[in-house]
A = this chain, B = another copy of it.
Amino acid sequence: MQKKEVVAMLLAGGQGSRLGILTKKLAKPAVPFGGKYRIIDFTLSNCANSGIDTVGVLTQYQPLTLNSYIGIGNPWDLDRHSGGVSVLPPYVKEHGGEWYKGTANAVYQNLDYISRYDPEYVLILSGDHIYKMDYSKMIDFHRRKGAKVTIAVIPVPWEETHRFGVMEVDDDNKIVEFQEKPKIAKSNLASMGVYVFNWKDLKKYLEADEADSKSSNDFGKNVIPAVLNDGEPIYAFPFEGYWKDVGTVDSLWEANMDLLKAEPDLKLNDSRWKIFSLNHSLPPQFVGPGSDVQGSLLADGSLVLGKVHHSVVFTGASVAEGAEVIDSILMPGVKVGKNAIVRKAIVAENTVIQEGAQIGVPARPGEKVEIINEAGITVIEDNVTVPAGMRIVQGTVLSVAEWPKFPEERIS
């Protein structure tokens, strides 16, 4: 097996339970984003653009979708003879198998995979974030500093520091103290969950961590503090640019809406840093006579005959005559029927909104509905049909399981 300088281990097992029905059949990294992408495309494209050609993708929750999405890795130039992408689900041994115990355990269970390439450095990544980053610069930084571990960091608002691992650094960016999800933070530099380790050190620390029965086998909680306790040099690599965890319905909706600004912080059409994605061989979008498209993103194979304002319309989605889609996200293959209304909603893959249905409309005076999303975002499950004329009140999250309960009263 050919030696590689860098092997990336991409943690993509996240269940994304705060995304609710959007991740019922999908791991979080496989959730569609930005008109034609899936969340994991950003990290995989960062690898491709940074010249990293050996990537292990650690999956566990609903691995089949991700497995078939990544396939042989050709969109990200990872269909290589030597290296390339390997999807690494938890391994069932003769006497059974179980899920990875934590991020560190996931990598520990795949030390053999890394060993095959005998790398200098191992890059630990998460498949959950939307950002563009040149990892090769971070590795250069790591090498230059002579660090044991380098952690990518980004300043976050002080009031959000409790959600992150934050670190205090000296003038040289050396980490002085690391706090995991602190109540009172000493710094607002948050870990992005992107680590560079020297391979030998990583192996040593993961083996020690695994041997420690009290450890929860997590990089942030256990491994990084252990390295720091040993007095080894850990550096913070400051990142500038757009970075967003899209782990909730609100943040997923917001991050999509961020792309619709006149000058978005995250540019998708930068020819020097393309975001690669699985291609579906669809024709260019067709914007028909009488349509009205404003402040929106539309992908290949979509067909718009109605009104689309401030929305993201994915690959192969369609909006019929007289329909109105506003402040919404139509995931791949969604069909919005004639005169239907979709407002501030996320409609998941291949769902059909039949003629005249109304999604995300205000509750009528006295109408009893269970508001799940306080920001008023309505979420519709994938692969269902919203019957003609049905009304779905804003802020509700609709799973087909709830369907039979109240279709009548919702049809206006």
Q: Does A20 contact B (CB under 8 A)?
A: no
Q: Give the interface segment out of A30-38, A59-67, A208-216, A376-384.
A: A59-67
Residues 54-109 of A contacting B (Cβ, < 8 Å): 60-61, 63-64, 67-68, 71-74, 79, 81, 84, 86, 89-92, 94, 96-99
- Check if B94 sits within 8 Å of A96, measured CB to CB: no
By a CB distance below 8 angstroms, the chain B residues around A61 are 94
A108–chain B nearest beta-carbon distance, Å:
15
Q: A68-B116, A71-B84, A84-B72 are in contact. Are A92 and B94 (CB under 8 A)?
A: no
The reply to whether B89 and A91 form a contact with Cβ atoms under 8 Å apart is yes
**Contact of A63 (CB < 8 Å), options: B73, B74, B91:** B91
Chain A at the B interface: SS class: loop
Cβ of A374 within 8 Å of any chain B Cβ, yes or no, is: no
From A116, which residue of chain B is reached at the shortest CB distance?
B68
Contacts of A273 in B (CB 8 A): none
**Chain B positions within 8 Å of A74 at CB level:** 81
Q: A329-367: which have CB < 8 Å to B?
A: none
- Interface membership of A141, Cβ < 8 A: no
Contact in complex: A67, B86 (CB < 8 Å): yes
> CB of A140 within 8 A of chain B?
no
| Contact present for B64 and A72 (CB under 8 Å) | no
A112 within 8 A of partner (CB): yes
A86 touches B99 (CB 8 A): no
A245 to chain B, nearest CB (A): 23
CB of A205 closer than 8 Å to a CB of B:
no
Verify if A113 is at the interface (C-beta below 8 Å from B). Answer: yes
Contact of A97 among B67, B79, B92 (CB under 8 A): B92
Inter-chain contacts of A97 with B (CB < 8 A): 90, 92, 96-98
A348 to B71, CA, bound (A): 32
Instruction: Please measure, in the bound complex, the distance between the C-alpha atom of A90 and the C-alpha atom of B61, giving whole angstroms.
Output: 14
Q: Chain B residues near A90 (CB, 8 Å)? A: 92, 97
Residues of B within 8 A of A98 (CB): 92, 96-97
Q: Bound complex: CA of A63 vs CA of B81, how far in Å?
A: 19
CB distance from A407 to the nearest CB of B (A): 29
Contacting residues, chain B, for A89 (C-beta < 8 A): 89, 91-92
Within 8 Å CB of A112, what residues of B? 64
Interface centre among A61, A68, A71 (most CB of B within 10 A): A71
A94 neighbours in B (Cβ, 8 Å): 61, 99
- Given A63-B91, A71-B81, A92-B99; 12 other pairs, CB 8 A cutoff: A64-B91, A68-B86, A71-B84, A72-B72, A79-B79, A89-B92, A91-B92, A92-B92, A92-B98, A96-B97, A96-B98, A97-B97
Give the B-binding residues of A (Cβ under 8 A): 60-61, 63-64, 67-68, 71-74, 79, 81, 84, 86, 89-92, 94, 96-99, 112-113, 116
Could you list 8 examples of A-B contacts with CB < 8 Å?
A63-B91, A72-B79, A89-B92, A90-B97, A91-B92, A92-B97, A94-B99, A96-B96
